Amino acid sequence: MSDTNQTPATARVMTRQRAALLHFLISVAVFAAVITPLLMLWYPPPLFFADGGWSVIQLAAGVDIVIGPLLTLIVFKSGKKGLRLDLTVIALLQLAALAWGVHIMYRERPLFLAFAEDRFSTVTLAQIAAEKRPLEELLRLGSDTPVRVLVQLPDDPREVMSIKLAQLSRGTAVFRLTEHYRALDAQNLEYVYRNAINMELFMKRRPQYRERYDAFLRGQKLGADQLAFVPLVCRYASLIVVLSRADGSIVGSIDIPPPEYRLF
């Protein structure tokens, strides 16, 4: 059938579809321009998938990218009276959804990688909101994003046991004890290295992950003896983060479940 035989109703449907498609493309562009830099800043690798960045972006995208164009598809009609107002309301709703998504990302972003005993754990602003130590003081403990800190517990095992039991009774973990946060300086990094995973021994116990481990080493300029392999516990996954023993910088991560946490 030629275009000259196309009915006005069909033309209106096509116009509505084109409007919705254009709205969708604009929504994707705006969402990517706003969200992508924030994700890179607040959820650096490997935290995007492991600590909630992907979950937040799915929820925000569902509201901002899908619902907006869908509403345009429903309400759009060429020449419709009040169409401009309808589209303005839809755009304002999308902006509100985008602002909400940014707020959630900011609120739930991992602020700290706190090391206690033998592993790092992510800690968010919401998780330490009730602590008395000022946030500004805590953020000055490091320059990384998230800030890496050591949870320095007392030397007396009885005191450590008492602290852990108190945390268990409160339903929280030692990683949130901001009064024990210390900067991850050279001396504290040595403590981290001493408590790192012996990967050769671990691979003997978990041979199913040997290929992943070897593949990671093949992609590194540093040898295994120049690296420290440390468990990282996030909200959605646990893996192994790899540090350079020379300066403590994070050189990568391996998607291998780390050894179980020593509770006591």
Strand partners, 122: 113
pLDDT in tens, 7-48: 444 444 447 888 888 888 988 888 888 888 888 888 888 888
Which one has a higher pLDDT value, 255 or 83?
255
How many angstroms separate the CA atoms of 124 and 138, rounded? 12
Short-list 205, 225, 224, 226, CA closest to 216: 224
Q: pLDDT over 70 for what percent of the chain? A: 92
Q: Is residue 170 pLDDT above 80, yes or no?
A: no
Read off the pLDDT of each residue in 195-207 and give the average, rounded to a whole number. Answer: 94
Position of tokens 């994003």?
145
* Domain boundary assignment for the chain: 3-108, 110-254
pLDDT, mean of residues 180-204: 94
Alpha helical stretches, state H, the chain: 8-42, 47-50, 53-61, 68-75, 83-108, 135-139, 157-170, 186-194, 199-205, 210-218
pLDDT band at 234 (very low <50, low <70, confident <90, very high): very high
What per-residue confidence (pLDDT) applies to 205? 93
Residue 155 scores a pLDDT above 90: no
Q: Which residue has the higher pLDDT, 129 or 20?
A: 20
pLDDT digits (tens, 9 = 90+) for 58-107: 877 777 788 888 888 888 887 788 888 988 898 888 888 888 878 888 88
Lowest mean pLDDT among 122-126, 132-136, 142-146, 150-154: 132-136
Cα–Cα distance for residue pair 222/211, rounded to 1 Å:
18
Contact 244, 224 (CB under 8 A): no
pLDDT at site 261: 60
Q: In whole numbers, what is the pLDDT of the chain averaged over residues?
A: 85
